[in-house]
Amino acid sequence: MQIRLNSPLDMHLHLRDEDMLKVVAPLSSKSFSGAIIMPNLVPPVTTKEELIAYKNRILEAIGDDNFTPYMTLFFKPTYTKEFLSSIRDELTAIKLYPAGITTNSEGGLSGFDINELRETLTAMSELNIPLCIHGETNGFVMDREAEFISIYEKLASNFPKLKIIMEHITTKESVEALDKFDNLYATITLHHLLITLDDVAGGMLEPHLFCKPIAKRPEDREALREVAFSAHPKVMFGSDSAPHPQHTKEATHCSAGVFTSPIALQVLTELFLEHSSLEKLQAFVSDNAQKIYSNIEVPKKVVILEKKGFKVPMKYGEVVPMYAGEKLKYSILF
């Protein structure tokens, strides 16, 4: 049995930099047509020169693969319309991080005063630049995303022409928010469709499943599955694949992130098949994203998956993937 996917896209991807970039970038570029690249390097990507230089390093790392890195800037409330206009042809979206909420987000936003954000968000609205948000407060870890919904609502109502992407949603409250405003959209990860907090910490701690936002309750996972398996037009696949060296995951201060790039399409295929939703997979991994990000040009690529066992390597470089050492039911036919 073979399954065909046309131009699959990953709308939330961490590629890191330097040696890590060289290891992980080809793992995405071989099987995806493109990806939204996160800007939270050290230091973060905030200028045109940094964005173009990072894009060139990605293109060098992937070689001849038919893959487009869709570049983003790290949000600053000082971006002017003049500056954004000058970079518009190179820029796909801007990523907003609350300060200190996740990996390399220390330079993020400390408050959400609409007046302080108005100039930049108005310019983004006028230039049709989507705003991607890591939506968590600094509250109790299980409540952070639900608490952030009021901020999404404030932004959506004050800037109705601004496309707002709720990144890697994990709660039923976020799913419910999707249909409250025309300009709210969302990405959903593979791992949040699979796991709950019980898988992370219900028995022995599983550091390679620890991520931010943390996995939630079974009822939250069911809400995510309902919109993903039905290919709700406002949701799209974003892996949030976040590589860290093994020694920083298996450590006292465990880094947050699940590395799924090498297995994403194989496991999604199996998951959608198990839930009698295979006909919706194409929309979830490509078609919806192309409609939401209406300005992107997507390379044509056909990915064929076949029912053939694939043993997941224990490591890629220094990074341990999800399902390391386990055998998957589907393989990508290269």
pLDDT digits (tens, 9 = 90+) for 132-161: 999 999 999 999 999 999 999 999 999 999
For residues 308-330, average pLDDT = 98
For residues 255-280, average pLDDT = 98
Of 260, 251, 253, the C-alpha closest to 316 is: 260
223 Cβ contact list (under 8 Å, min separation 6): 171, 172, 175, 176
Mean pLDDT of the chain: 97
Rounded to whole angstroms, the Cα distance separating 289 from 239 reads 13
Predicted confidence at residue 329, as pLDDT, reads 97
For residues 66-85, average pLDDT = 98
Residues marked active site are found at: 240
Predicted confidence at residue 295, as pLDDT, reads 92
Predicted confidence at residue 334, as pLDDT, reads 81
Predicted confidence at residue 258, as pLDDT, reads 98
Q: What token pair was written down for 254?
A: 């465990």
Predicted confidence at residue 153, as pLDDT, reads 97
Predicted confidence at residue 1, as pLDDT, reads 80
Predicted confidence at residue 320, as pLDDT, reads 98
Predicted confidence at residue 260, as pLDDT, reads 98
Listed range (40-49, 98-107, 269-278, 303-312) with the worst mean pLDDT: 98-107
Task: Give DSSP secondary structure letters for 131-164.
Answer: EEE----SS-TTTHHHHHHHHHHHHHHH-TTS-E
Predicted confidence at residue 29, as pLDDT, reads 98
Q: What token pair was written down for 228?
A: 């993903």
pLDDT > 90 in the chain, percent: 97
For residues 270-285, average pLDDT = 98
Q: What domains appear along the chain, each with residue ranges and CATH number?
A: 2-333 (3.20.20.140)
pLDDT at 206 over 90: yes
